[in-house]
Chain A
Amino acid sequence: MSGRHVHGGPECVALFAKLSEYLDGELDPAACAGVDGHMADCERCREFLESLRRAVTHVASMEAPELPENFKRDILSAYVRAKGSS
């Protein structure tokens, strides 16, 4: 941190609202450069962004189990029953 910037001011709060778009590469170049510049000067925001990035990566890497065969059979049976009663 350069010492010129004190974390928690309006600049940090305004940046806080843009962090997902920044991570997703959805900010226009000028806004993106603004975030980059702020990050270079504000260690707390940098740490915050890193924690958000890690959280998003953990979520994205979660796996779901495969569909159990017996569930599939139950659903096919439910379809046959529903069709028979209609």
Chain B
Amino acid sequence: MDGSSEDADLLSRIRADAPGAFDEFVARFGGRLYAFGMKFCGEREDAKDVLQDTLLTAYRSMGGLEHAEAMTSWLYRVAANACLMKRRKGRFEPDREISLDELLPGPGEDARVQIPDPAALPHDDAVREETRMRVRKAIGDLPPAYRIVLVMRDMEQLSTQEVADALSLEISAVKMRLHRARLMVRKTLEESYAADGRGKGRV
């Protein structure tokens, strides 16, 4: 979401509730926020609900922002809240933090890497789609408080500070949850490929 002068112009039009301002707002941010909702929720209808809640809520409250530069983090904040509410987890705090010990490789885990090398995946649509399904499931299996951090950092490429601001978390908590989320995804994928036995799709 670049184009700070465009954002400043849009924000002033939103403040004035100018004709067409909402349409412009949807055109400017709708695609990215829908993609964010899809990455977190994994379902089109859920992502649509998240998008609608986010756009309507943010549009009403956007006038209170002092600077256009704050629009993106504000939108992510509203969208993250909508995602977590959608999953009936209306808070950023998990029931408990997952310990690193739980994510260490087990003694029975094969030392060899089972996850295929992304850079060496065959150009075969079926293999690539199967890989995407596994990754999607591994992300979907994450507890929401961890998944939201992974989606924002590794999929939306937000900085640690931006995620901390959007979720009202300390930097250390963002780093801790990101690391655990990645370890959980790794573990799920390793187990998924190991369970194949054949190392299907392995490179």
Interface residues of A (CB under 8 A from B): 13, 16-17, 19-21, 26, 43-44, 47-48, 50-52, 54-62, 64-68, 71-72, 74-76, 78-79, 82
Contacts and interface: CB of A to CB of B under 8 A. Distances in A.
A59 B190 CA distance: 14
Interface of B: 22-23, 26, 30-31, 34-36, 38-39, 44, 48, 51-52, 55-56, 59, 100, 104-105, 111-119, 131-132, 135-136, 138-139, 150, 154-155, 157, 175, 178-179, 182-183, 185-186, 189-190
Given A57-B118, A66-B31, 18 more contacts: A13-B100, A51-B186, A54-B189, A58-B135, A59-B135, A59-B182, A59-B185, A60-B155, A62-B132, A62-B139, A64-B34, A65-B35, A65-B44, A71-B51, A72-B26, A79-B55, A79-B56, A82-B56
Q: A interface, by DSSP: helix, strand, loop or mixed?
A: helix
A43 B114 CA distance: 15
Contacts of B155: 59-60, 62
